[in-house]
Every structure is written in structure tokens, then in C-alpha cells.
Amino acid sequence: MTTMFVRHKVSNYETWRKAYDDFASVQKAKGVTGQAVYQATDDPNDITATHDFVSVAAAQEFVNGDELKMAMQGGGVVGAPLVHQQKIELFRGVPAKRAAGQPAP
């Protein structure tokens, strides 16, 4: 699994959030399997969104797509986003929660 972290400023969170929510069907069609949105505690227009994909290739295809660029412009993204991807590998025989550093039950 690959998780993509995208941090950017937006001109108005409410406007951005509506555009983000309206884009959900495209996200799913382009391979997003999970997502989360975070706001900075000191600036509600400083957003970090995470998106999960089955592979690095799927994440790269999504982030390089024209649909995403248009949605970001329409949502009021200010400047260039900071994009970071991490590949998550689970160890054979180790439950996902333990592999992520959470205590075993």
C-alpha cells in the first residue's frame, strides 16, 4: 500500500472542502482506497490530505492527472502543494496494527 500526503494552503477552507467532497467519485475511480483531511491548529486554511493507493504507480498516476489539477484550482489551492508518498510494507505474519507500532491486544 502507498499513502500520499499532500499539504497545501487554500484561500478558503469551506470552498476547498466542497470541491474536495465533490471530487470523491473521481478519487475512487482513480484508485484512492482511503483518505483523510487534516487542518493545522493555527491556520484552518493549511490543509494536509492523505490518500491511500494499492501501489506507487496508482498514486503517481492520480497525482499527475489533469482532473486533480483542475479540482485543486477550482477548490482555491494557493501555490504549489507539497506532495510526499510513502510505501507501507507489512511484515509477513505480523498484524497490521502491530506492524504500524501499535501494541498487540
- Assigned domain for 18 exists: yes
| Amino acid letter for position 14 | E
What CATH number did the domain enclosing 46 receive?
Answer: 3.30.70.100
Residue 89 within any structural domain of the chain: yes
pLDDT of residue 56: 87
The reported pTM is 0.74
pLDDT of 33: 93
Residue 22's identity, in one-letter code, is: D
In a domain, 105, yes or no: no
Consecutive 10-residue averages of pLDDT for the chain (105 residues): 90 94 93 94 94 90 87 88 69 52 50
Number of domains in the chain: 1
* pLDDT score, position 11: 96
Burial class from Cβ neighbours inside 10 Å (0-12, 13-18, 19+) for residue 52 reads middle
CA nearest 2: which of 59, 49, 65, 84? 59
Which stretches does DSSP call E strand in 1-105?
2-10, 34-40, 43-53, 77-87
